[in-house]
Amino acid sequence: MYKLRFKLIFAILLITLLVMAGLGIVIGQMYQTFYVNNLTERIEKEANLAAYMISEESMKGETPQRLAMKFAEKLDARVTIILPDGTVIGESAKDPSLMENHLVRPEIAAVERGDEGTAIRYSDTVNDELLYYAVAITDSTGTHLGFLRLGLSTQTLDDINQMIWGILATCFFIAFIIIVSIIYRVANEMIRPIEQATVVANELAEGNFKVRIQEGKRDEIGQLTRSINILAYNLERLTKRHQAQQERLETLIENMGSGLILINKKGDITLINGTCRLIFQENTDSWLNQLYHDVIKHKEVIHIVQTIFLTEENQRKQIHFPVKLEVRHFEVYGAPVMSRRGKIKGIVLVLHDITDLKKLEQVRTDFVTNVSHELKTPVTSIKGFTETLLDGAMNSESLREKFLNIISKESERLQNLIEELLELSRIEHSYFRLNWHTTNFKSIIEEVFDLLKEKATHKEINLDLVIEGDTTLEGDTARLKQIAINLINNAITYTPIGGEVTVFVKGRDNRVELDVIDTGVGISESELPRIFERFYRVDRARSRNSGGTGLGLAIVKHLVEAHSAVLSVKSQIGKGTTFSIEFNKERQKTD
C-alpha cells in the first residue's frame, strides 16, 4: 500500500513540477522579452532625443567629441557619432581618430536600409557585450548629417534576468513545498481508508471475519468501507452458520450408531467415522486416502462396493464376519453418489450392526432347540428307566439299584442345567451387581485346585499351579472362584488321559493375569468366535458325557466383563488351548 501512496504522490508532484517548470520558463521568457522591449524602447527614445540635440548643439559650435562625452555621461551609455561615410567623429569610449569605418556595423547598415538599427554583440573597445541602437542624424531641413549610436551594457539585462529567475525559482519552490504538503495530506486522507480496507480484505481472505474497518465520510471511499463492513458481517454470519452445521454434521457422523464410509470414484476412502473403528476393531484413521480393497479385509464388503461400481445401483445386504472372538452381523446399505450429469462420483456405505438382533433371534431359536435337546435326554432317560422299573424291573434288586442310580444321575444333570440357566439369566440382568471387596486370587485358585484335584488325578492329568508376584485385587470372591472352576474344569474335561493342565497366576504393577493352559484336543479357528455362545459345544459327545451343560463359558464371559477384565483365547487343533484373563487390581469405575 505504501507503493500506491508513493506512486500517487510521485505522479502528482511530477505533473505539478513539470507544469510549474513550464510555467516558470514561459513567465521568465515573457519577463525577459518585456524587459528587452522596454529597454529597446527606452534606448530608442534616448537615441532619437540625443540625435536631435546633437543636430541642435552642432549649430552652437559644440564639437562631436564633446557632445559624445556629454551625452554619454548623461545617459550612462556609450555614445558614438558617425559621419555618413562611416567615419567616427565622436566616441565616448575611445579616441575617435582610432576608430575604423562603422558603415559595416550591423546596426548602422540596418539604419541605412531603413530598418531598425539595433543589435546585441560583444565590443572589443569596452570589452563587454552591448545593446546597440543607431539612428540617423538630420537637421531641420532633413539633410542627413550622419549617425548616432548608443550602446548599453547587457550586464544590467543579465542581472535583471537573474533576479527574475531567482524570484520565480523562490516563489515556485515555496509553492512546490506548499503543494507537496497539501498533496501529502490529501493523499493520506485518500489512501488511509484504502489501506485499512486492504488490511481488512486480507484478514477476510485469511478467515478472520470479525475484523471491521472504521467508516469514513459519505463519499465513494466511505461507501466502500461500509460495503466491506457489511460483507465482513455477512461472511461472519455465514461462517458461524456453516461452522455450526459442520460441527453438528461431524458430531452426527462420529456418534451415529452405524458405520459410515465414503469412497470416491477412484476407490479411495475419503471419509470414515469412529463407529467403523468399533466395527472392524482396527485403527481406521489410517484408511483415509487408501484404496478400499487394500485396507478392508472382509470380502463381503468389498463385493458390495464392486457391485455398486459396476451396476451404479443401490445395494442392501446382510453380511457377517468374525470380530475378535465373536461373529458379528451387519446390514449394509450402499448407494452410488451421482453428479447432475448422471456420472458416478463415489459410493456411500452404511454398516448397521444387527448382531444383537441376530443374537436375539438366534437365542429365541436356540433356546427352544437347545433347552429342548438338553432336557430331552435326561427326561427321556428318567422316563424310560422309570417305565422299565414299573414294568417289573423293580422286582430285581440289581436292576432296581442300577436304574435308580441312572435316574438319580440324570436328575442331577437336569438340576444342574436348570440352575445354570437361572444363573446365566441373573448375570445378564441389568440389576446384577458384584459383591466387591479386596481378595487374594492366590487363595481362590488354591481352593479350586483342591476341588478339582481328584478329577485330574482320576484322568491321570498333571495339574500344575505357578504363582508369581502380588495377586491381591478388588473383585467378587465367589464369582472369581466360579470363573476359575469353569476354565480349569473345561481344561481337565477336554484334555486326554496323561495330558497336562498348567495354571499361571501373575501379579503385575496394576493387574493380575490368569492363564489356563491345557494340552487338550484344541479348538479350530472357525469355532473360536462361537465358544462363548449358550449351549455351544466343540465336542458335544465328550461334554455331554462329562455332564457339561454348554453354559459354562457363557457365564465366564459375562463375569469377566462385569469385572472390567479382558478375556482372550488361543488354540491349535491337537495341541491345546490357552485361556487368558487380565484383571485390574483396582475396581474400574463405570457409569
Residue 112, burial from CB neighbour count under 10 angstroms (0-12, 13-18, 19+): middle
Dihedral angle, C-alpha 79, 83, 87, 89, nearest 10 °: -50
Radius of gyration (C-alpha) of the chain in whole angstroms: 63
Look at residue 394 in the predicted model and tell me its pLDDT: 75
Look at residue 542 in the predicted model and tell me its pLDDT: 46
Look at residue 514 in the predicted model and tell me its pLDDT: 92
Cell of 29: 521568457
| Cα maximum dimension of the chain | 208
Gap between the Cα atoms of 89 and 127, Å rounded: 21
Look at residue 517 in the predicted model and tell me its pLDDT: 92
Q: Which residue has the cell 433356546?
A: 367
Q: How is the chain split into domains, by residue range?
A: 14-161, 256-353, 359-428, 437-584
List the one residue out of 241, 271, 240 whose CA is nearest residue 256: 271
Cell of 543: 461334554
- Fold of the domain spanning 256-353: Beta-Lactamase (3.30.450)
List the one residue out of 136, 87, 65 whose CA is nearest residue 107: 136
Residues 349 and 333 sit within 8 Å (Cβ to Cβ): yes
Gap between the Cα atoms of 33 and 26, Å rounded: 10
Look at residue 419 in the predicted model and tell me its pLDDT: 67
Gap between the Cα atoms of 154 and 133, Å rounded: 13
Look at residue 370 in the predicted model and tell me its pLDDT: 63
Cell of 552: 459354562
Residues 154 and 122 sit within 8 Å (Cβ to Cβ): no
Entry field: residues in the chain: 591
Query: Model-level pTM greater than 0.75?
Result: no
Cell of 2: 505504501
DSSP code for 268: B
Q: Does domain 14-161 have CATH number 3.30.450.20?
A: yes
| Whole-number Cα distances in Å, 219 to 47, 213, 224 | 67, 15, 9
Please list, in sequence order, all residues whose beta carbon lies within 8 angstroms of the beta carbon of residue 100, skipping any fewer than 6 positions away: 88
Gap between the Cα atoms of 71 and 57, Å rounded: 11
Please list, in sequence order, all residues whose beta carbon lies within 8 angstroms of the beta carbon of residue 207, skipping any fewer than 6 positions away: 239
Residues 55 and 139 sit within 8 Å (Cβ to Cβ): yes
As a CATH number, domain 359-428 is: 1.10.287.130
Residues 308 and 336 sit within 8 Å (Cβ to Cβ): yes
Gap between the Cα atoms of 561 and 325, Å rounded: 14
* Within this chain, domains 256-353 and 437-584 share the same CATH topology: no
Instruction: Please state which architecture CATH assigns to domain 437-584.
Output: 2-Layer Sandwich (3.30)
Look at residue 219 in the predicted model and tell me its pLDDT: 67
Helix (H) or strand (E) holding 4: helix 2-57
Q: Which three-class secondary structure string do you get for 438-451?
A: EEEHHHHHHHHHHH
Please list, in sequence order, all residues whose beta carbon lies within 8 angstroms of the beta carbon of residue 280, skipping any fewer than 6 positions away: 296, 297, 298, 323
Helix (H) or strand (E) holding 353: strand 344-353
List strand residue ranges (DSSP E) for 376-518, in order: 437-440, 462-468, 472-475, 500-507, 511-518
Gap between the Cα atoms of 360 and 550, Å rounded: 18
Q: How many other C-beta atoms can be found within 10 angstroms of the C-beta atom of residue 474?
A: 16
Residue 227 amino acid letter = S
pLDDT, tens digit only, all 591 positions of the chain: 456 667 777 788 888 888 888 887 888 778 777 777 777 777 778 778 777 777 766 545 567 788 878 888 887 788 888 888 888 888 887 766 556 777 888 888 888 888 888 887 777 776 777 888 888 888 777 777 888 888 877 776 677 777 877 887 888 888 888 888 888 787 777 777 777 777 777 777 777 777 777 776 666 677 777 787 888 878 888 888 888 888 888 888 777 878 889 999 888 998 888 888 888 888 888 888 889 888 888 888 899 999 999 988 999 998 888 877 778 888 999 999 988 888 888 999 999 888 888 877 776 776 666 666 666 667 777 777 787 777 777 777 777 778 788 788 777 777 766 766 666 666 666 556 778 888 998 899 888 888 888 888 888 898 898 999 888 898 888 888 888 888 888 888 888 888 899 999 998 888 899 999 999 888 887 777 777 776 666 654 444 444 455 677 887 888 888 888 889 899 888 888 999 999 988 887 654
**How do beta strands 566-572 and 500-507 pair?**
unpaired
| Whole-number Cα distances in Å, 84 to 59, 92, 99, 477 | 18, 19, 15, 158
Please say whether the dihedral angle defined by the alpha carbons of residues 72, 82, 128 and 97, taken in this order, is positive or negative. negative
